Amino acid sequence: MIFIFAFLFLCANAAPQSQADRDAVITKYDSNNIGLDGYNFAYETSNRISQQEDGQLQNVGTDNESIAVRGQFSFVAPDGVTYTVNYIADENGFQPQGAHLPA
């Protein structure tokens, strides 16, 4: 999960930012993470970036214990097009899907 956040952070900071992006604020934030079983969160920003994610523990109490993550993020590109990525991250790796991504 840390890699996902690091990837998103690097992508967001690699492109030149407009004034609206620099001045963006979080307009909605929900989080449920008490450290047991799983978590979920969602946020939206004033520059139309959003993300939601759910994580659930799998194979609890075994040597194969892991977390399965399912989520979505979207953003508006400089050309005005909204891009959305749905993803799963589990024992099979990070699996993004989006209309703009190669199949």
- In this predicted model, what pLDDT tens digit does every residue of 39-48 receive, in sequence order? 999 999 999 9
Q: How confident is the model at residue 10 (pLDDT cuts 50, 70, 90)?
A: low
33 — phi, psi (to 5°)? -150, 95
- In 46-92, where do the E strands start and end? 50-58, 66-76, 82-90
**29 belongs to a structural domain:** yes
- Tell which wins on pLDDT, 98 or 16: 98
**25 belongs to a structural domain:** yes
**27 belongs to a structural domain:** yes
Q: How confident is the model at residue 7 (pLDDT cuts 50, 70, 90)?
A: low
**69 belongs to a structural domain:** yes
Q: Tens digits of per-residue pLDDT, 22-67? A: 889 999 999 999 877 899 999 999 999 999 999 999 988 899 889 9
Q: What average pLDDT score do residues 79-97 get?
A: 95
Cβ contacts of residue 46 below 8 Å, gap of 6+? 20, 23, 24, 25, 26, 27
Instruction: Look at the chain and report how many structural domains it folds into.
Output: 1
Which pTM does this prediction carry?
Answer: 0.75
**3 belongs to a structural domain:** no
- The predicted pLDDT at position 89 comes to 96
**47 belongs to a structural domain:** yes
**4 belongs to a structural domain:** no
**70 belongs to a structural domain:** yes
Cβ–Cβ < 8 Å for 54, 70: yes
Which range of residues forms the domain containing residue 33? 19-97
Burial class (CB in 10 A: 0-12, 13-18, 19+), 57: middle
